[in-house]
Each structure stands twice: as C-alpha cells, then as structure tokens.
Amino acid sequence: MRFDTDFVAWFRSVAPYVNSFRHKTFVLAFGGEVVADGKFIELVHDLNLLASLGVRLVLVHGARPQIEARLNERNLQTSYVRGMRVTDAAALQCVKESIGRIRVEIEALLSMGLPNSPMANAAIRVASGNFVTARPVGIVEGVDLMHTGEVRRIDAAAIRSRLEQGELALLSPLGYSPTGEIFNLTLENVAAEAAIALKAEKLIFLMDTEVLEKEPSDGSEVSLLPELTVAEGKALLQEFARQAVRLPEDAQLYLPFAVQACERGVARVHLISRHIDGAVLMELFTHTGIGTMISEGPLQNLRDARIEDVGAILQLIEPLEAEGTLVRRNRELLEMEIGRFVVIEHDSMIAGCAALYPFPRDAACELACLAVHPDYRSAGCGDALLRNIEAKARSQGSKKLFVLTTRTAHWFIERGFVETDVGELPKAKQGLYNYQRRSKVFVKNI
C-alpha cells in the first residue's frame, strides 16, 4: 500500500489555521462577474468547507454586469462619477430587478447538497434582509447621483445573531433609508462597512487581478505586492493620484476601502483573484498565500523567544540538525535555554531564530542556532537576527562575537566575520569544542 505523506504533512500544516479561524467572522465580497461566469459553484464548495470548519461567513455580492445587461435591454445609459453609477429612477428599477435575480441565484447555489460532491450533507442556511441603512451620496463633482447612496449604518447585532445560529449572511449592494427610500450602493462600500461593524477577522475581495501590481508610469518592471501595511497602501494611493504609478482598475476601487477597513479595526484584508479555482483556500490556509494581504502594521516582528515558541523553534531547526548544519538540541535543553533565543515572527509563524551565549570574562559572546525558514531566506531575516544579536552582545559589554559553523562560512564572511582558530575561543568554549564536527571559527569585533 502506498501512503501519501505529502497529504498528511499538508493536512497537519493547516491545523493551526483551522484552530485560529473557528468562530471568527470573515466578510467575502465578489462582483456579479463571479456568478455571470459560472464560477460561483466552485466558490460555493470552498464556502461550504469554511462554514464546516466553524468560520462565520458574510457574503457581499455585486451585480454590475447584470445591471449593465438590464440597462442595455431597455436602451438606457448611465454614467459614472468616482466609480459610482449615477442612478436615476429608471436605472434604479434595473438595479432592483438585477440584484433580486442574482440574489435568488446565489441562494439557490448555496442550497445545493448533491451526494458525492463537496456539498454532500451541506446545510447552509442563508440570511438576508434590511441589514444596511443608507443615505444619498448627493452631488459629487457637480453631478447629482440621485438614487446612488452610501452606507450609513450596518445592523451588526442582527447579522451577528444570525451568524451565531449557524447561518450565512448575504448582503446585497442596496440600502434603505428610514423614510423608505432605496439606494444603489457599491459592493466595496457595503463590504468594508460590514467588516468594520462586525469587527471581522478578515475582509476578502475577489478581483480580476491575481496579485496587486504596482506598475511604474515609466513602463519599467511591475512590482508584485503580496503584503502591504496601511501606511504603504496610503503611499501607493498617493503615488497613483500623482500618476507616478499605474494600478489595475479593480485595485483602484478596492484598495482605498481595504486601507480604511484596516484602519478601523479589521485585522486583515485580502485581495485575491477570482479566476483561480480554490483561491480563497490557498490564500487562507497557506502561509505565503496567492494574493495581496493588507494589515495595519508590519507582519514581521522580531522579539525575545517565549516558552510557547519551543515547538515552533524545534520544527524550524530539525531539518538543519538532520543535515548537520546545526548541533542537535532536544526539547528539554531548548526549554532551559529559551531565554537566550530571539525569534522573527511573520504573521504568527516563527520564520527564524538565533541564540546568544555570553562569556563575560572574555568580553565575548557566541552566536548560535541561527536558522531561517527556507521561504524567508531572501527576505533579510538572517540579517535582522544578526543585528539584534550584535546589539544584545554590545549591551552586555562584549567586544567580539564569535560563531562556529560547518556549512555557512561565506554568509558570515560577507557580514564582517573573520576566520580564526580554536585557540582564540574563550577557554570555557575551547573545552566544549567538538573536534569530530570540525566547525570553523569566525569572529567579529563589535
């Protein structure tokens, strides 16, 4: 019998995400193109999986292609101001008809339960209603947008009550006023305000672009942006306003609302492609993801290690120990010496570690157990750890930092270390030197 060990390793790797996401609220926004293209069935399979794992889901759908088709049938034309449709009475009627149709279609697809399919034994209940209170946008750039509105309030308590009962909430881009008026809203406005009001863990936009691209206006190489902070997102939008860079059309719509949502309490916003089957799962359940993730602050954090980091550090260094790059450390020893370690944490994952052992009589310190996860070895994590260790050594009064290595000599030479012999080590360290490993000794004056 052949066992698929890759599947087992993958299944284990997603366990931390499953535990982290359970009972958390995700708001997922998608345009009417997803339904029009027939791709919503694939998305439904992934939504069912998320729901079965205990994720509380709020869907926000758009209907722009359906509205355009309805307007064309009636030979009506509308204009846009800042990405918002100018909605007169005739256009509003088309908006209501189109949104009503697409909502029924979405609810039907969410109700599937075919045997021998990802929806087998699914029991998704859909809640929709007057959750969104709106007000008119008014006059923008001298144009009266009439029945086009913006979100005034999200009834978070009512939505939360439905989510707690295991239902999926479905929001349409329509809002109602206390006077009984109906307003045409934008998908991104509804999604962002819902995520903020619900204090959602994640806001996810499905868009045409695979990863947010920053294209310089001079036509030079495009920059892919898998991660952005709020500050970086604002700077990018300012560059776009100055025409210093070009952004994809849908990014121009979604990015301002993504930044706003993060500023107002949403932990993470994800911009991912609607064209990739399983994109939502790949973005949420892999550490590298496949889209652009926006957060309030940097995802990378360098800090002192804690006892709860022991398991992650062991997982990080075990492959290096197996190949002989690092000296083996068992869990008991690591727990005893955890106070000597620093770690780099990237979005709650330990991406690197290093340890510092002082020899005060010799005014020296040893750098040991420097390890970086393969996915982050080109991201400057090793240099960040080295700088931190050097600073700690100097603060303890050390004048030099030494390291013993068998496989990474050039890396240390490139960073100012000089090879020396065992006799230059502190006496206490000389007595511990392993002549079987024949590690090279490098020293750096600090």
- Reference 109, options 172, 45, 167; nearest CA is 45
Give the whole-angstrom CA distance, residue 85 versus residue 174: 13
* Residue 177 DSSP symbol: -
Give the whole-angstrom CA distance, residue 274 versus residue 267: 22
Contacting residues for 322 by C-beta, under 8 A, at least 6 apart: none
- Reference 63, options 34, 21, 26; nearest CA is 34
State the pLDDT at residue 220.
55
Q: How many residues are listed for the chain in this entry?
A: 446
- Structure-block tokens of residue 91: 């256009």
Rg (CA), the chain: 27
CA 399 to mean position of chain CA atoms:
41
Is 283:290 a contact under the CB 8 Å cutoff?
A: yes
Contacting residues for 315 by C-beta, under 8 A, at least 6 apart: 350
Q: Where are the alpha helices (DSSP H) in 112-241?
A: 156-164, 187-197, 230-241
Q: 276: helix, coil or strand?
A: coil
Q: Which domains are assigned to the chain?
A: 5-299 (3.40.1160.10), 301-445 (3.40.630.30)
Backbone angles phi and psi of 373, in degrees to 5: -60, 140
Q: Where are the beta strands (DSSP E) in 36-128?
A: 56-61, 80-81, 84-85, 126-127
Give the whole-angstrom CA distance, residue 46 versus residue 30: 14
How confident is the model over 184-205, as pLDDT tens digits? 999 999 999 999 999 999 999 9
- Structure-block tokens of residue 442: 């490098």
From residue 206, give the alpha-carbon distance in Å to each of 11, 128, 152, 277. 25, 21, 24, 12
Give the whole-angstrom CA distance, residue 150 versus residue 137: 6
State the pLDDT at residue 1.
42
Q: Quick one: angle between helices 89-110 and 64-73, nearest 10? A: 130
Give the whole-angstrom CA distance, residue 254 versus residue 238: 15
Query: 């939502």: which residue's tokens?
Result: 280
State the pLDDT at residue 2.
57
From residue 163, give the alpha-carbon distance in Å to each of 92, 104, 167, 416. 30, 20, 5, 57
Q: Which residues lie across from 324 on neighbouring strands?
A: none
- Structure-block tokens of residue 188: 């991104």
Is 292:236 a contact under the CB 8 Å cutoff?
A: no
State the pLDDT at residue 38.
85
How confident is the model over 271-286, as pLDDT tens digits? 999 999 999 999 999 8
How confident is the model over 23-75, as pLDDT tens digits? 999 999 999 999 998 888 889 989 999 999 999 999 999 999 999 999 999 99
Give the whole-angstrom CA distance, residue 439 versus residue 368: 12
Per-residue pLDDT of the chain (446 residues; tens, 9 = 90+): 456 677 887 887 788 888 889 999 999 999 999 999 888 888 998 999 999 999 999 999 999 999 999 999 999 999 999 888 999 999 999 999 999 999 999 999 888 764 555 555 667 889 999 999 999 999 999 999 999 999 999 999 999 999 999 999 999 999 999 989 999 999 999 999 999 999 999 999 999 887 777 776 665 555 668 888 999 999 999 988 888 888 888 888 999 999 999 999 999 999 999 999 999 999 999 877 889 999 987 777 899 999 999 999 999 998 888 887 888 888 999 999 999 999 999 888 899 999 999 999 999 999 999 999 988 887 789 999 999 999 999 999 999 999 999 888 999 999 999 999 998 899 889 888 888 888 999 999 98
